[in-house]
Structure 1
Amino acid sequence: MWLSVLNASVALAQWSDDLQVSQSLPDMAPLMKALRNVNEPESMGGSTRKLNEQATRELANLKTTALSAPGDPSGRAAAGQSACLLGLLYLHGAAVNPDSARARQWFSLCAHYRDPLASAGLAWCALDGCQSAPNLSQAQIWVRRLNRVEPARAAHFQWLIDVQLRPLNPKATEGLQTLSTPERNLLVKAVAGGNVHAMIELGILHAQSHDLARALQLFDQASGQSRVAAENAAWVRQRIAAEHAASVMPSVTSQAILAAPPTPVQEFTIESKPMVMATPEQAQATYLAARRFHRGDGVALNYAEAIRLYRQADAQGSGHAKRMLSLIYSRTTPEGGLDAVWMRQLADLDVNAPVPKQDVALGASALRREPTPLIDLLPTKWRQWMD
């Protein structure tokens, strides 16, 4: 009996979703008329390269098939697939000018043909807006439909919705600590189902939480489907290697670094003028140089050089350098040497703020996401026409 009640409840919920979906879609006849009236030059597109003859012909065939309004099941399936692909092309500016509003029209036509992937495109357009206001309640309906055919992608989309609905928290940090248990479970479910965008997202969160090993696993797992993930993996691998090199410094060396006297204030000679003390601008330049060596930003990571420059900047009058040195000295190893883990955490800290916090402009923020969570649906041969 309970099973019958449950099945009836599920059927009722699906019927309710189907009704809301049908009411939200534009009528098919005016939609097709609007799409037929668009006549773009074949040379237009997101790429700076001119389309070759084959790509131009395939693009025209896609539009013809999508707008053919066939009555037989196989014809409708082909038309739906073509409409969905055209939506992806317009969304990403591949072989055509990027136009998310036009993409939404093609996804809507795809939904009229009952192609299962239409729910992914329309869920994203409801989330993003596609040149209109985002509609999270509409996105929720499409995500529930998407869950019937692609549970992993639906879980990632549900996570995107939940993050947008999350109350603002002025004390929020970065990384895994920002996630509630349900939010984290959604990402884990999406990763388990093979969703590449969830892998990238969770990898970034682990990197922000200084768990570079797990971040690298996730980026490597996604790299077969995503060039962005492969680039992220390379960045993390380089960071791990740099931090390992810094962490194996002999303890006597790190003790000597901490015990060394501050570098005297540097004097500057400007042409024939008398020697002058460092200016605030020069102190700031020295401090920024120390930050680069501390983070390995464009140079080899070198904690010894970073501390030397912090001391020099402190002697020149940099309050930020003095604050950073205080933080470095506040936590050392039992032997009195550098704590490599602490140094790594300080590298991404913004000491300019009244209360030191994670600097969103540094460190793991170098990691990137794909332009949309649908780009993996775009065939590789069409991605070459994206800029």
Structure 2
Amino acid sequence: MPVRQPLPTAAAVVQRSAALAVLLAALPLQAQLFEPPAIDPGQLTPASPTAPAADNPAQSQALQQLRSQADSVQRPPNLAAQRDANWLLGLLALHGLGIPIDAPAAQIRFQAAQRLGHPMASAGLAWCAIDGCGLPPNPPAARPWIAQLRKADAARAIYLEWLLAARMAPLRVGQADGRNNRTSSAITGVPVPEKALLQQAARAGSPQAQLELGLAEVAQGQYQTAYGLFRSASHRSPAAAANAQMIQERYGVTPSGSMGMNRPTPPAASQRWLEMARRYHRGDGVPANYTEAIRLYQQAAASGHPEAKRMLELIYSRPAPGGGIDIGWMQQLANIDLSRPQFSINNLGGAQPFLRDPTPLYDLVPAEWRNAALR
């Protein structure tokens, strides 16, 4: 028969409990499961603990102040400061500004801001429904948030309504035009539905809609129109500003509305050199000779011929693995006609592509946080 252990006496139980209390008291404070005290923003100093993701003391202190305000347990609470801090922390987490990108955390912050009555929080929740914010997207769930957003920012609400329609539209093969109220972007390769809705958002002042319409115009080779749309959005959209600059540099579009008119007419000699370069490049009536073609392109470019300059930029944009000229790339470029207004360097992959902002909420991030990411 197994031997039964005697039950501990009451004195033994008390003695063990006392020993356990002594051990717990000896543990470091951080090992004990206590709720951390709230931090008073006024008590923060440069020596206060910093957030791991902050790279500079000023930004670190600002983040700690935001977290303290957002998670405040003070009585009575400052609800306006708590609401605004949750909204801003959501934007920072969504875009990885000052802290690592954390879309699920951003959505939680947006929800908190919405409960506290932030007028723009519905924009964040609509975007998270459309995009998913780290979870499977649920586009139909964006509709009530978009309806709520119309009271605070009608232009953005219309744009998000268009974006919702674009995400839910079935993928169609081929391109359509404005005659059936659809436009297609070669930048994305995806048909864009409800062009009229996008135009309505752009007229209402949505920089995101102006940017999207500009990209659609680029896809159709309408660089002057695209440039005007990008310029209109550039004061609130960094991507639109960059796109306007790229169009100006690549296609000679100017703010005055001219396109390529600021370039002098190439002299007859440079035009002849360009034509000879093309013949050697293509092997048109002469044996193909890439060395001679490049020499003639260089001669035409030195005389100010813009097409020769663009061809040389393309040739040198993809060097061979060991350096020098990539023969395969030269063969691909042989039949490119750089004089066509529809030609896009971007389509060849030899230049920086046109840009979009990270999210439709990026322009809502305060400038000091966006600029800090560029430093």
User: TM (normalized to structure 2)?
Assistant: 0.63
Report which of the two structures shows the higher radius of gyration computed on alpha carbons: 2
More helix by share: 1
Cα 1:68/1:256, change in 2 over 3 Å: closer
* Distance in 2 (alpha carbons) for counterparts of 1:132 and 1:360: 35
Q: Whole-Å Cα distance in 2 between the matches of residues 224 and 87 of structure 1?
A: 23
Alignment of 1:60 onto 2:64: yes
Deviates more, 1:249-258 or 1:376-385: 249-258
Aligned positions, number: 295
1:239 deviation in Å? 2.2
Q: CA-to-partner distance for each residue in 1:137-180, whole Å, 9 max, x for gaps? A: 11222212212221100111112111112221222379983188
For the structure 1 residues 144 and 345, does the alpha-carbon distance in structure 2 shift closer, same or farther, using more than 3 Å as the test?
A: same
1:152-301 to structure 2, matched below 5 A, reads 152-172=155-175, 177-178=183-184, 183-241=194-252, 243-244=260-261, 248-249=265-266, 262-263=279-280, 301=306
Q: Find the counterpart in structure 1 of residue 56 from structure 2.
A: 51
1:345 corresponds, among 342, 364, 369, to: 342
In the alignment, is the contact (CA less than 8 A) between 1:94 and 1:384 conserved in 2?
Answer: no
TM-superposed deviation, 1:60: 2.2
Structure 1, residues 327-360: CA drift from partner, whole Å, max 9, x if none? x6xxxxxxxxxx94xx232455xxxxxxxxx947
Query: TM-score, normalised to structure 1's length?
Result: 0.61
Superposition pairs of residues 349-364 of structure 1, within 5 angstroms? 359=347, 361=349
CA distance in 1, matches of 2:278, 2:370: 57
Could you report, residue by residue, the CA deviation over 1:259-305 in whole angstroms, capped at 9, with x for unpaired residues? Answer: 99933999xxxxxxxxxx98xxx97x999x89x99xx9xx9841598
- Which whole-Å CA distance do the structure 2 matches of 1:368 and 1:71 have between them? 46
In structure 2, relative to structure 1, the CA distance for the partners of 1:300 and 1:168 (3 Å cut) is farther
SS at match of 2:141: helix
Which of 151, 159, 170 is the matching residue for 2:154?
151
The residue identity in structure 2 corresponding to 1:51 is: N
**Does the C-alpha gap of structure 1 residues 42 and 112 become closer, same or farther in structure 2, counting only changes over 3 Å?**
same
Q: Name the structure 2 match of 1:131.
A: 134
Q: What does the per-residue CA deviation read over 1:223-276, in whole Å, with 9 as the maximum and x for residues that have no partner?
A: 22233322211111112328446794478976996699933999xxxxxxxxxx
Alignment of 1:326-337 (within 5 A): none
1:103 aligned residue (82, 101, 106): 106
Aligned mates of 2:282, 2:225 — CA distance in 1: 43
Match of 2:78 among 54, 75, 79: 75
Please give the per-residue CA displacement for 1:169-221, whole angstroms capped at 9, x wherever unaligned: 22237998318896222222222222222222111211222211121112222
Q: CA RMSD in A?
A: 4.6
2:184/2:192 contact within 8 Å kept: no
3-state SS in 1 of match to 2:50: coil
Classify 1:250/1:164 alpha carbon distance in 2 versus 1 (closer, same or farther; 3 Å). Answer: farther
Cα 1:63–1:262 shift into 2, 3 Å: closer
Which residue identity is paired with 2:360?
P
What is the identity, as a one-letter code, of the residue corresponding to 1:172? Answer: Q
The match for 2:8 is none
Q: Report if the CA contact (8 A) 1:219-1:229 is conserved.
A: yes
Structure 2 gap segments, 5+ residues each: 1-34, 39-48, 186-190, 254-259, 316-324
Contact 1:123 / 1:140 at 8 angstroms: preserved in 2? yes
**Among 361, 370, 375, the residue aligned to 1:383:** 370
What is the Cα deviation at residue 51 of structure 1? 2.6
